[in-house]
Amino acid sequence: MYDPVTLDQLRALVAVVEEGSFSAAARRLQRVQSAISTSMANLESQLGVPVWDRATKVAKLTPQGQAVLASARRVLAEVDGLKRLTSGMSEGLEATVSLCVDALLPLEALIDLCTGFAKEFPTVDLRIDVQVMSAVSAQVLAGKATLGVVIPPAIVPGLERRALSAIRMVPVVGPKHPLAAVRGLVSNEAVARAIQIVLSERGAEGVADQGVLSPRTWRVGDLHTKHMMLRAGLGWGNLPEHLVRGDLRARRLVEIRLEAWAKEEHVLNLSAVYRSETVFGPAHRWLLERLGTLCAAEATNATSTRSSGKRPKRSHRSR
């Protein structure tokens, strides 16, 4: 059915209200005043309600007109958003961007990434998924995510890779755990008697558990659970340095040194992965470049913290 209400009428309505008069609105819209008056009269006739209070000399809305104005602004905002969206699409801008990241990615970097993305691409929808190890590669390979962030052992054939940054893993225990009282290196015998909490793949086919020292292990499928179990003193295990900084300062966790790894420095290197046939639009290209910048900044901050002497440098090898 033909709708006689036009966007021009709605824009004229908003202009009159914002400029304060029909003549000022006409100058803003580069039209003659009589055209604005006719447009407002037609709008009232087509809507069937009085929009303007004719008893006043200045342009003043009726209560019905106030409601019409609010609705008109919403309609115009949606139309303007549609124009920005289609304008971007004509230049290759994606409608949606999907990203799957390993739980090891620093949360601060992820939030900064999303904040910058919202400002740079306000019309593009963003989907974020957090997985563990090979589950990230599986999401990308299946097309459920265009970009992934994962550690090298979990990268599967068929995916391209771009190095991002290193994540240092810190062996920790709760402050009341017996290993927290050990001065110097923790012996292999002491480690063997303690439960090791390991972040493990959910599926049978995936990356094998790495660097397991204790014959007694508790395996968990997500980083948050592992973090809370370690804080509760239920065992020892490795956590990303960026995740435990606050815990170490507040003594909610204690960093330990293991005899088996005392002379080795172990890091997990994050990489961005994507299918080789993927053609990136501007939003995906921005996301990929920004990921590298933010991850590099996080790695630099971590190195600066260690070199400042605020915390002793430790060694470890497992997740």
Are residues 305 and 240 part of one domain? yes
Number of domains making up the chain:
2
Asked whether residue 72 is assigned to any structural domain, the reply reads yes
Are residues 183 and 81 part of one domain? no
Are residues 190 and 278 part of one domain? yes
Are residues 235 and 118 part of one domain? yes
Determine phi and psi for 279, rounding to 5 degrees: -110, 115
Are residues 248 and 236 part of one domain? yes
Asked whether residue 2 is assigned to any structural domain, the reply reads no
Asked whether residue 203 is assigned to any structural domain, the reply reads yes
Are residues 48 and 191 part of one domain? no
Asked whether residue 195 is assigned to any structural domain, the reply reads yes
Q: Beta-carbon neighbour count of residue 27 at 10 Å?
A: 14
Confidence (pLDDT) at 318: 47
Q: Which domain holds residue 84?
A: 7-90
Are residues 99 and 142 part of one domain? yes
Kindly report, residue by residue over 148-164, the tens digit of the pLDDT.
999 888 888 888 888 88
Q: Show pLDDT as tens, one digit a residue, over the chain (319 residues).
A: 446 788 888 888 888 888 888 888 888 888 898 888 898 888 888 888 888 887 777 778 888 888 989 988 888 888 776 765 565 455 567 888 899 999 888 888 899 999 999 998 888 889 999 988 888 998 998 889 999 999 888 888 888 888 888 888 899 999 999 999 998 899 999 999 999 999 887 665 556 565 678 889 999 988 999 999 999 999 999 999 889 999 999 999 999 998 887 555 577 888 999 988 777 888 888 998 898 888 777 766 665 556 555 544 433 344 5
Are residues 130 and 102 part of one domain? yes
Confidence (pLDDT) at 58: 75
Domain boundary pick from 67, 90, 113: 90
Kindly report, residue by residue over 195-250, the tens digit of the pLDDT.
999 988 766 555 656 567 888 999 998 899 999 999 999 999 999 988 999 999 99
Are residues 298 and 226 part of one domain? yes
Are residues 231 and 252 part of one domain? yes
